[in-house]
Amino acid sequence: MLVVIPTYNEALTIAKAIDRTRSAVPHAHVLVVDDASPDGTGAIVDEIAELDDHVHVLHRAGKQGLGAAYVAGFGWGLGRDYELLVEMDADGSHQPEELPRLLHAAEQADLVLGSRYVPGGRVVNWPWRREALSRLGNTYTRLALGTTLRDATGGFRVFRGDALRQLDVDTVASQGYCFQVDLAWRAVRAGLRVIEVPITFVEREQGESKMDGTIVREAFLRLTQWGAAHRVRQLRALVGRRNGGQP
């Protein structure tokens, strides 16, 4: 099992995130994908990795975005034949202590989504505007793509390695919210088993959020494009059935 943690300027939080993860799931390996953080995050993890052979660092040349960091981390893990790959933030918003429940669910699924918006899930200390934006984004995702997923934008999730290989993650160019939706949507379309497990999401106490208007705009535009393409495919399939199988 490999926990992939992307970082950019997370010097205040990364050591604690690694320690909590190693305590919660002692057999897990942790890969920090650092985008040349100016605050020395990568150097901190290098020091930890020297003392713990379950901790690894993938240094990248500069800030290239969340999606690209996860793609690089997944590629690193799949190349080393990890069976389970986990997405998790470094800022403390995802609780490593909840990982065992997600891993248990992965015994019956190809993708497990840590969900804030299913019964039992909750958000703690988030500004109401951020929560409203998140809920609106998930509602729009369901309407545009016709999915039943309650939290397609969340970033605390477990993939089976074989499932990730089917999703052709190297072709994913999306970032932020949109990256998470892209992978979940690919899994649904591929017919993979997707389960949502309730989690408690806690607003970060240290450091700064990387969310900005560019990421939100990208998500809205891409979701609209994907939704339109999805509806066109549905319409063509309906017409084809009415014409006796002829498109």
Position 247 in a domain = no
Position 215 in a domain = yes
Position 181 in a domain = yes
SS3 category, 124: strand
Which of 45, 100, 93 has its CA nearest to residue 73?
45
144: alpha, beta or left, given left = phi > 0 and alpha = psi -120 to 50? alpha
CA distances from 160 to 80, 149, 192, 226 (A): 14, 18, 10, 25
Q: Which residues pair with 85 in a beta bridge?
A: 2, 159
Report how many domains make up the chain: 1
Position 195 in a domain = yes
Q: Is the pTM of this model over 0.85?
A: yes
Position 194 in a domain = yes
| CATH number of the CATH domain containing 6 | 3.90.550.10
Full pLDDT tens readout for the chain, 247 residues: 999 999 999 999 999 999 999 999 999 999 999 999 999 999 999 999 999 999 999 999 988 888 999 999 999 999 999 999 999 999 999 999 999 999 999 999 999 999 999 999 999 999 899 899 899 999 999 999 999 999 999 999 999 999 999 998 888 877 767 889 999 999 999 999 999 999 999 997 665 655 556 767 777 787 888 788 877 877 777 777 777 655 5
Range of the domain at 41: 2-242
Q: Are 145 and 230 in contact (CB under 8 A)?
A: yes
